Amino acid sequence: MLAASRKQQRPSEIGTFNYSNTNYILLGMIIEKLTGHSLATELKRRIFTPLGMRDTYLPVKAAEGIKGPHGHGYMKDDKGAVVDVDKLNATTMLGAGGVISTAHDISAFQRAFVQGKLLSNSLHKVITDPVPGQPSPPQGGPCAGKPAFQPRGGSAPGFVAATYTSPDGRLQFAVSVTVAMDDGERGAVAQRIDQVLTSVFCPASAS
């Protein structure tokens, strides 16, 4: 995948922001080169085990599948039929999204992140500060800051997950959806997730 990326025209100018899975794959390779261990080993040693993320791991075998009881993810194929993607080969994604986890474990990760337990302050700001040239994300979350939430989420084929965490990490709302949508549908689902959160944490503002 890295070799294939070198044959593609750079999508943006050097020094400007561009979301890229290729960068995360490259970062995982650098970690393995510097440590002499697999990325799966380093993630477990440095993050998963210290945070008590017992159901989180990076698959290392293509046929390994998802361990234990779990929701099956579904997505539409090119003909519009809904397909079970439970056997997705996550090993091809490596550091770009190959980790298998649960809403409970992701909440533990996000809680540790906002509480400053994962990174130094300078590195923490690299992630949380607005990217130069990009609009600042809305502050406060769905409850307009009363209480405040920092939403973070992600998706893979068949799965969408989101975790909302208060700035002190003491209040959280997590949800996992086992259907992957196109961009238009994803926005509608995100709005519904926000509506559920407001009905629980700020019912006075819920519509």
CB 160 within 8 A of CB 179: yes
| pTM of the complete model | 0.84
**What is the spatial distance between Cα 92 and Cα 9, in angstroms, rounded to a whole number?**
22
Can you give the CATH number for the domain in which 62 is found? Answer: 3.40.710.10
Answer yes or no: is pLDDT of 41 > 80: yes
Better pLDDT: 182 or 177? 177
Nearest to 51 by CA among 102, 116, 105, 124: 105
**From 25-29, 38-42, 132-136, 164-168, the region with the lowest mean pLDDT:** 132-136
Out of 48-52, 62-66, 139-143, the most confident range is 48-52
**What is the spatial distance between Cα 46 and Cα 168, in angstroms, rounded to a whole number?**
22
Q: State mean pLDDT over 161-167.
A: 90
In this predicted structure, what is the pLDDT of residue 205?
A: 60
Average pLDDT over all residues of the chain: 84
Number of domains in the chain: 1
What are 92-127's pLDDT values in tens digits? Answer: 777 788 888 999 999 999 999 999 999 999 998 888
Answer yes or no: is pLDDT of 180 > 70: no
| Residues, the chain | 207
Residue with token string 């995948």: 1
Answer yes or no: is pLDDT of 206 > 60: no
In this predicted structure, what is the pLDDT of residue 146?
A: 85
**What is the spatial distance between Cα 24 and Cα 135, in angstroms, rounded to a whole number?**
23
Domain hosting 175: range is 2-205
